[in-house]
Amino acid sequence: MMQIYKIDANTVQVICCPPEDVNRGDYLLIEDVNSERSLIIQVINSGYVNVPGILEDILRSSSTEKLEGVDLDPLEVKSFVNIIKDAELFTCKIRGALNKGKLSNNVSWIPPRSTSRLRKLPDVDLIKLLENEPQKGLDIGTLKGGGQISININSIDGKLNIITGKKGTGKSHLSKLLLIQLVSRGGICIVFDVNGEYINLGYTKNEGKTSLYDRFIPLTPGNDFKVTPQYAGLGVFLRVMENVLGLPATSAWEFRRIWKELKKQDALTLNNLNSAIRAVSNNYIQDALLRRFESLINTKFFTDDWSVATVLEAEMDKMDKGGALIINLQNINSKFRQIVVEFLLSKLSQLLENWGLKAVFLFAEEAHLYLRETYWNDVVTRMRHLGMFTTFITNQPDSIHKSVYRQADNIFLFNFTNEHDLEIVSRAAMIDVETVNIIARQLPPHHCLMLGKVLNNFPLIVRINSLKEKTMGETRLFFSDLKIKKS
């Protein structure tokens, strides 16, 4: 039986005696039998009740255990004491209220201790509260009691998401799951794939093609992903040269002049840019420009040949039923990665602003590896306004800017044990520090605590579904690889 012990602000303490099958993360309902109101609370911690005399009793029973033949329980209170000893205390957080069966935000009501009844909220009732429309939802996992969780597409559309947790807990897996479902429902997505682990999403585990095979377009910069200078535009070139390659402002002015001159003559090619730079009279400027220009050329990301160049508009046209460009950033150096991302963010902004691209979902793995300082704010404000909806995925929560935590709509939190990591995640306005601290530490692999709009602001522990696609997230094992080779 469960009873209210204390209510203090947002926290309810519940005594459970004898113990019931209630775990951290579970939801309970406090119903008042006299009114039609109830409180929805979530267990975030559990422990023993601190009853006076228990310590003494424990000590006495352990010191007298060996005395045989002596009746140590003449009053036969032992079984009663044992029940008290096992009584549990749950620390719970108030997550919502029900008034005549309807969800209400008014959680200021205090249920009477004497007439309130407590019971576990079953999955079916919980799922009803999430206000999901199953047919529109993305199927992502199950609750402990087996209830299927599908998240409303509107809670992802237009939103800013963070997927975080320590290494190997299942972050990229969830990101792939969301990606596949968005694509299958017509969404246009871009993935910054730093580990080259999304490029095979069009394949099943046994190398067959999935039904969405044609919708995943892997692009490897410098290889099958090249762009012409005209298409990239002066802005991208200048920003790359100045911000990524450190070109001084005076030389940037000279480059701008050269570019505009060639453009006027309709002769904007890499070769002509190269010759024009070599003809600059000031040696210092010439040298500064040449060095940067050569490192751009060396990436092989730029070409004059339109027949091999990628045009994003054309790729987007292929994705009219939904699709994803997987930008393979694996094995390319940090500057090159930044160049590619600079180009893509700039182009995507243009497409969203001027070209009829309605919206794009961006999946950014370990964004601190390529996202320039000034872009963090841009991504959460200006670009979001234009229709770019980003999901950041990282195992280092401190690598994501504060502004992202403040603006995030949803956080998918996997296991963390490190104090510092947890502290950073709890900066997000949507959750209290205690919940994050206690629940996140105990999440098993492939389970995540979902926070935010995604589940109608009810924090829930969800076991993420597996995938039939080839995910490539598997850690290579020396011995299992050995076995495969031998056979």
Residues making contact with Mg ion (CB under 5 A) = 172
Q: Is the Cβ of residue 175 or residue 426 nearer to ligand ATP in the bound state?
A: 175
CB of residue 175 to Mg ion, shortest distance in Å: 8
Q: Is the Cβ of residue 297 or residue 369 nearer to Mg ion in the bound state?
A: 369
Q: Is the Cβ of residue 172 or residue 328 nearer to Mg ion in the bound state?
A: 172
471 binding ligand ATP? (CB under 6 A) = yes
Task: Say whether 205 sits in a helix, a strand or coil.
Answer: coil
Q: Is the Cβ of residue 222 or residue 473 nearer to ligand ATP in the bound state?
A: 473
CB of residue 324 to Mg ion, shortest distance in Å: 17
Site for ligand ATP, residues 149 to 178, rule: CB under 6 A: 165, 167-173
For the record, the structure tokens of 60 come out as 């006495």
Q: Is the Cβ of residue 45 or residue 161 nearer to ligand ATP in the bound state?
A: 161
95 binding ligand ATP? (CB under 6 A) = no
Size of the site for ligand ATP (CB under 6 A): 15
DSSP 243: I
Q: Name the one residue in this structure whose structure tokens are 């290494």.
A: 167
Task: Say whether 77 sits in a helix, a strand or coil.
Answer: coil
d(CA 218, CA 237): 24
CB of residue 40 to ligand ATP, shortest distance in Å: 27
The DSSP annotation for 417-440 comes to: --HHHHHHHTTSTTS-HHHHHHHH
**Can you give the length of the chain in residues?**
487
233 binding ligand ATP? (CB under 6 A) = no
User: Which window, 73-81, 142-150, 370-378, 467-475, contacts ligand ATP (CB under 6 A)?
Assistant: 467-475
- Cα–Cα nearest to 371, from 338, 395, 404, 349: 338
Residue 456 contacts residue 165 (beta carbons within 8 Å): no
Q: Name the one residue in this structure whose structure tokens are 């029900």.
A: 98
147 binding ligand ATP? (CB under 6 A) = no
d(CA 281, CA 241): 20
CB of residue 249 to ligand ATP, shortest distance in Å: 39
For the record, the structure tokens of 382 come out as 């200006």
38 binding ligand ATP? (CB under 6 A) = no
Site for ligand ATP, residues 371 to 430, rule: CB under 6 A: 395
For the record, the structure tokens of 65 come out as 């255990």
- Cα–Cα nearest to 383, from 344, 336, 409: 344
d(CA 192, CA 194): 6
* Residue 470 binding target from Mg ion, ligand ATP, none, CB below 5 to 8 Å by type: none
Q: Is the Cβ of residue 206 or residue 281 nearer to ligand ATP in the bound state?
A: 206
User: Which residues sit at the interface with ligand ATP, rule CB under 6 A?
Assistant: 165, 167-173, 395, 446, 464, 466, 471, 473-474
